[in-house]
Amino acid sequence: MAWEYSEKTRRIFTAAVHGEPGTHMGEIDNPDGFGEHGSIVCGDALRFTFRVLQHPTDPVQDVITDARYLTFGCTSAIAASEALCSLIVQGRYTPIGALKITNQDIVKFLDGLPSQKIHCSVMGAEALEAAVFNWAQKRGVDLEKIGVHLKDKGEDEGRIVCKCFTLTEPYIRRKIKELNLRTIADITGAIKAGGACGSCHHAPGGLQDLLDETWGKNGSQPTPEPVSAAASATTEVSPFQLYRKIEKTIAENIRPALQADGGDIEIVDVKDTKVYCRLSGACAGCPGANATLKLMVERTLKEAVDEKLKVIAL
């Protein structure tokens, strides 16, 4: 699938991957602020670091002078990370001032993002929060005391609603409110929940229930076909049965996540326990392609089909 990116998004992405002067891909050694968000298994992950010019007496007045990111993800993930760093550095923000930057500011800076890619801008804002939290701890700033409440990780712990992306009920509830998400498609676009197998959409306590509890019932959505449980580990299966299990797992648990980022995967051959695969679309030639194959595809196949499987990239 080809995404409709703005001219500015394409320009920012190209400049970033070529490391042009003024871009921010990379990592600061011994940073003053460090934060991460996302997960490689989920297809997007961002590590964010910043350096401050320390104020001699009042840490709250520290000014961010440099910001860098390492992003595992697609065009929009890299462009959104680049936008976040540019906004912060150009604005000469204090760490606390930088918290005013929202995912909407990032989208605006990029002249828009496809709705299915909004999660890339959300990821940047979350990583920034984590980095400011880290800076405050290092500089001895009591954020609560000065009226800044940041979510610590513990607040998002709880029942997992979307197993494909390991997203919990408190986190999804918080994001539904913060980002004014009104439909399952909105949730998937913003935080990816529901974007793979779909079994969390209408399950009891699933995404639709969380939406209804937050906003009240307003219209129904078609119930997706229930997704069957992952194939059990192979004990004595024929090569044909093994192939079918691998094919089914890729179709149900892997391909939707890759397609959500404009990529795809093809099984070229299966020999014994070796699965020969080729990534295509946006995943082909992506610097993170190997990580996707090993960390996401191979791990999923091991869990769902057989622990002995190995994925070989073609």
Residues that bind ligand FES (CB under 6 A): 162-164, 193-200
Minimum Å distance from CB 277 to ligand FES? 21
Report CA dihedral (18, 256, 220, 176) to the nearest 10 degrees: -40
DSSP label at 25? B
The whole-angstrom separation of Cα 163 and Cα 209 is 16
The whole-angstrom separation of Cα 235 and Cα 238 is 10
Handedness of CA 209, 248, 72, 16 (dihedral sign): negative
Nearer Cβ to ligand FES (130/197): 197
Nearer Cβ to ligand FES (118/164): 164
Minimum Å distance from CB 196 to ligand FES? 4
Report CA dihedral (260, 228, 170, 214) to the nearest 10 degrees: 90
Nearer Cβ to ligand FES (164/211): 164
Nearer Cβ to ligand FES (195/263): 195
Minimum Å distance from CB 149 to ligand FES? 29
Q: Catalytic residue positions?
A: 42, 120
User: In the Cβ-directed half-sphere of 228, how many Cα atoms lie within 13 Å?
Assistant: 7
The whole-angstrom separation of Cα 17 and Cα 79 is 10
Contact, 56 vs 46, CB < 8 A?
Answer: no
Nearer Cβ to ligand FES (206/288): 206
Minimum Å distance from CB 146 to ligand FES? 38
Contact, 268 vs 274, CB < 8 A?
Answer: no
User: What does the block give as tokens for 116?
Assistant: 């299915």
User: What does the block give as tokens for 257?
Assistant: 């996540």
Minimum Å distance from CB 199 to ligand FES? 5
Q: Nearest Cα to 95, choosing from 62, 119, 117?
A: 62
